[in-house]
């Protein structure tokens, strides 16, 4: 897949609108918990500064619902981004309007302005022509550098492309290149580890991967629905009963498919216990994969030359139900395979154990990564495709 390159356009003195993916995890007090998405956009910003562009950054943060909610202001991101970039980052009180247009007009070549949250406007998620046009008025060139939002047909992702020449940022181009190679030229055996809560959002991917992979390992709450479809008791565990009929159409006896063989449950008294698949009590909840499953998945991954992982294997945010996810993070990190990881909690499991340097590629996309691997066309990627 060939994309229009940022390096192919004249940038000196131009107003360049960069749609970044700075939707970062923060504590209840607003402290940044992970700046990896800020780090990902820095190479593109540095190139733009070197090329003497006037840089305007647009991003969303959280889900304010189309209204102003200062809990989701982008302004607290500016100091960290400034330190990473090694240059001042100005901020604005809005992302469109006359005051913002004036702030852009006063930018000198190489200067950077971070706009306020685009999702403070209902026209962003609705992708209205009016809001897209107001954003487009700020710039001469549009750079999409938000792979994590590329599956959203929002105004700041695709709408501005109706009025501005559009190109791919350096990181977005890298994301597309790496994931495309996995689909077409991956070193075999190719192993996918897929977790998470909802099988409804990943069923299409599972169907595709059963045809393309050498092994598909499934865990997390999405595996509960598969166990339910097999007629096994899952107690009070999270599942999607409405998806059981669709799951039963899968070839669950496929030798490439590997499901949990044991589980960690929370008992009625609140304590954790290990249960064999099928032995879950009716008042128990499955919250993690068990030690035998960890060992099974490790054994499969030892043979892999490419491993792709998306989604936690249990209720990762609540110890001790993070053990399975963390154990497999370590197994992947110490594998000799080419390793690709994506999705917020998945990446956190890697970073919390300081394993990120042992991962070959960490995707900035969760849902976008899933949809790309599923074979769907991402609206943002299509915008900058040659």
Where in the sequence numbering do the catalytic residues fall?
Answer: 37, 198, 344, 367
Q: At what angle do helices 367-374 and 170-185 cross, to 10 degrees?
A: 40
Structure tokens at 182: 């996995």
3-state secondary structure of 294: helix
**Residue 288: C-alpha distances to residues 195, 269, 324, 338 (Å):** 11, 17, 6, 26
Residues 6+ apart with CB under 8 A from 319: none
Pair of tokens at residue 13: 């003195």
Tokens of 87: 């240059």
Cβ burial, residue 155 (10 Å; 0-12/13-18/19+): buried
SS3 (DSSP) at 251: coil
260, two tokens: 């949990």
The DSSP H or E segment spanning 89 is strand 89-91
Do 368 and 149 contact (CB within 8 A), yes or no?
yes
């Amino acid at each position: 897949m060939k994309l229009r390159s940022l390096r192919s356009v004249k940038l000196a003195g131009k107003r360049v609108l960069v749609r970044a993916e700075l939707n970062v995890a923060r504590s209840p007090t607003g402290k940044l918990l992970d700046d990896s998405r800020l780090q990902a956009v820095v190479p593109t910003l540095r190139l733009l500064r070197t090329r003497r562009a006037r840089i305007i950054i647009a991003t969303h943060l959280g889900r304010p619902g189309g209204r102003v909610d200062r809990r989701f202001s982008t302004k607290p991101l500016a100091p960290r981004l400034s330190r990473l970039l090694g240059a001042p980052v100005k901020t604005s009180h809005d992302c469109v309007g006359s005051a913002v247009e004036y702030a852009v007009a006063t930018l000198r070549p190489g200067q950077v302005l971070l706009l306020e949250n685009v999702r403070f406007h209902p026209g962003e998620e609705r992708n209205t022509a009016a809001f897209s046009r107001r954003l487009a008025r700020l710039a001469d060139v549009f750079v999409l550098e938000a792979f994590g939002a590329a599956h959203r047909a929002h105004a700041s992702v695709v709408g501005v492309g109706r009025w501005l020449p559009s190109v791919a940022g350096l990181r977005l181009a890298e994301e597309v290149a790496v994931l495309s190679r996995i689909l077409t030229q991956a070193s075999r055996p190719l192993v996918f580890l897929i977790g998470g809560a909802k099988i409804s959002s990943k069923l299409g991917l599972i169907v595709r991967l059963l045809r393309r992979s050498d092994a598909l390992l499934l865990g997390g709450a999405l595996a509960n629905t598969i166990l339910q479809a097999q007629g096994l008791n899952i107690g009070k565990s999270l599942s999607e009963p409405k998806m059981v009929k669709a799951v039963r159409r899968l070839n669950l006896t496929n030798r490439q498919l590997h499901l949990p063989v044991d589980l960690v449950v929370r008992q009625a008294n609140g304590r954790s216990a290990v249960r064999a698949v099928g032995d879950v009590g009716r008042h128990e909840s499955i919250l993690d994969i068990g030690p035998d499953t960890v060992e099974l998945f490790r054994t499969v991954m030892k043979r892999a030359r490419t491993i792709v992982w998306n989604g936690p294997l249990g209720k990762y945010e609540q110890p001790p139900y993070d053990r399975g996810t963390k154990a497999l993070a370590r197994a992947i990190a110490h594998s000799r395979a080419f390793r690709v990881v994506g999705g917020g909690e998945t990446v956190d499991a890697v970073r919390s154990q300081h394993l990120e340097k042992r991962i070959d590629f960490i995707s900035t996309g969760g849902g976008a990564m899933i949809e790309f691997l599923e074979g769907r066309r991402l609206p943002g990627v299509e915008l900058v495709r040659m």
